[in-house]
Amino acid sequence: MLKYCFYNDYSEGAHPRILELLQQTNNEQEIGYGADRLSERATQLIHQALGKPDADVHFVTGGTQANLIVLASMLRSHESVIAAQTGHIFVHEAGAIEATGHRISIASSVDGKLTPESIKEALDQHTDEHMVKPRAVFISNATELGTVYTRRDLENIHEFCRSRDLYLYMDGARLGAALCSTASDAQLPDLCDLVDVFYIGGTKNGALIGEAIVINHPDLRRDFRYHIKQRGALLAKGRLIATQFVGLFTDGLFFDLARHADAMAVKLQNGISTRGFGFYSNSTTNLIFPILPDRLIQQLLTLYGFHDYVRVDATHSAVRLVTSWATPESRVAEFLQDFTEFTCYS
């Protein structure tokens, strides 16, 4: 029996206030397919958080779904999307993008982040009609390695994309953790100016399910609901996701939860580095990747759940520890105590 699991940020159900809201609104009759009053309310709250009363907001159930719908709606059949080798669409979505007919053009990255230079390098490998034509850029914020894009980072990429006629799309599965990171100076409203489409991740930040897609570029708004429906993502009870976003965007719950997740990761990070260990990436969010001796990893695995990430050398691996809105501070303390004990006596 493990003491606690740091596998991911979707191990628990939903934040209690979200469950309460589901309960409270349960008996009302509502129109289907997102035309309900809860979807309207959630949209208003997101508009307020964005400072854009006319932002185009759509709710879907998960990140892979959001990614494939947005990208397939953006691209003509000969166009590709540029992504980092570590990008979720390239690594962990079972060919969802290719199944809609599009190649992912890989760009080099450091710590999971793209730059104008790496995008340009990928672009320059595409010279004519014997190749696909990159038309969109996919970035994750936070990245799959826990790092974040600063406002300056985003401005630079945004400007480059604009100059090269590329749409910029941000996967925000962990957007809360990114924006609440001490390394991030970008605010939620900034994203309306800096990317063409992004989504606000609910599933990994306290909801049972649900991501809110925000479309900034006017050209990309046309007929978007057709794409949601065509990919099987238009829920009959749209209220389910909307209600959760009402919860998340009431009294700043979304940010409170993300801040907690980040804070727990910082504690872990500090405790681990105090004992002299380094990290595989410069994460500043709720995923951290300490590089540990294999023996220590084995010891920790007897008490805690977490995933191996990558082998670093013959005797060391980077592991992935994930905290969440639900991670009790006491469990983090307990982990660090056990960690300290293992490292003192080994």
Site string for a second copy, 14-33 (x = CB under 8 A): x-x--x--xx-xxxxxxxxx
* Residue 278 binds a second copy, judged by CB under 8 A: no
- The least distance separating a second copy from the CB of residue 334, rounded to whole angstroms, comes to 14
Nearer to a second copy, 25 or 343 (CB): 25
φ, ψ (nearest 5 deg) of residue 60:
-135, 175
What is the residue-wise DSSP string for 287-309? EE-BEEEHHHHHHHHTTEE-EEE
State the pairing for strand pair 287-288/316-322. antiparallel
Decide if 323 contacts 268 (C-beta within 8 A). yes
Q: How far apart are CA 248 and CA 193, in angstroms?
A: 23
Residue 50 within binding range of a second copy, rule CB under 8 A: no
Tell me whether residue 10 or residue 249 sits nearer to a second copy (CB atom): 10
- What is the footprint of a second copy within residues 299-328 (CB under 8 A)? 305, 326
Looking from the CA of 77 toward its CB, the CA atoms found within 13 Å total 1
- Give residues 195-254 in contact with a second copy (rule: CB under 8 A): 203-204, 208-209, 223, 225-237, 239-240
Give me the least distance between CB of 151 and a second copy, in Å please.
29
Number of shown-chain residues binding a second copy (CB under 8 A) = 76
Question: Of the two residues 236 and 344, which places its CB atom closer to a second copy in the complex?
Answer: 236
Residues numbered 135 to 174 that lie near a second copy (CB under 8 A) are none
Question: How many angstroms separate the Cα of 254 from the Cα of each of 179, 250, 251, 268, 295?
Answer: 11, 8, 8, 22, 38
- Please report how close the Cβ of residue 229 comes to a second copy at its closest, in angstroms: 4
How far is the C-alpha of 189 from the C-alpha of 156, rounded, in Å? 17
Amino acid, single-letter form, for residue 131: M
Among residues 8 and 115, whose Cβ is nearest to a second copy? 8
Residue 121 found at the interface with a second copy (CB under 8 A): no
- Choice between 161 and 228, CB closer to a second copy: 228
- Which of positions 94-113 make contact with a second copy (CB under 8 A)? 94-96, 98-103
Separation CA 278–CA 289 (nearest Å): 9
- Indicate the residue among 324 and 343 with the shorter CB distance to a second copy: 324
- Given phi > 0 = left and psi -120 to 50 = alpha, else beta, which region is 34? left
Shortest distance in whole angstroms from residue 26 CB to a second copy: 3
69: CB partners within 8 A, 6+ apart: 60, 213, 227, 228, 231, 233
Among 73, 283, 284, 343, binds a second copy (CB under 8 A): 73
Provide the minimum distance between the beta carbon of 32 and a second copy in the complex, in angstroms, as a whole number: 5
Tokens 């035309």 correspond to: 35
Stretch that binds a second copy, among 72-80, 143-151, 270-278, 287-295 (CB under 8 A): 72-80
Give min distance, CB of 194 to a second copy, in A: 25
Min dist. Cβ of residue 31 to a second copy (A): 7
Residue numbers 122-141 binding a second copy by CB under 8 A: 129-133
Residue 10 engages a second copy in binding (rule: CB under 8 A): yes
Among 39, 43, 67, 284, binds a second copy (CB under 8 A): 67
Q: Is 307 helix (H, G, I), strand (E, B) or coil?
A: strand
Instruction: Compute the distance between CA of residue 229 and CA of residue 225 in angstroms, rounded to an integer.
Output: 6
- Give the number of other Cβ atoms within 10 Å of residue 124's Cβ: 8
Whether the CB-CB separation of 75 and 98 falls below 8 Å is answered with: no
To 5 degrees, how large is the angle CA 211–CA 212–CA 218? 140
Rule CB under 8 A: which of 327-346 touch a second copy?
Answer: none
Least distance in angstroms from the C-beta of 219 to a second copy: 11
Q: Amino acid letter at 334?
A: E
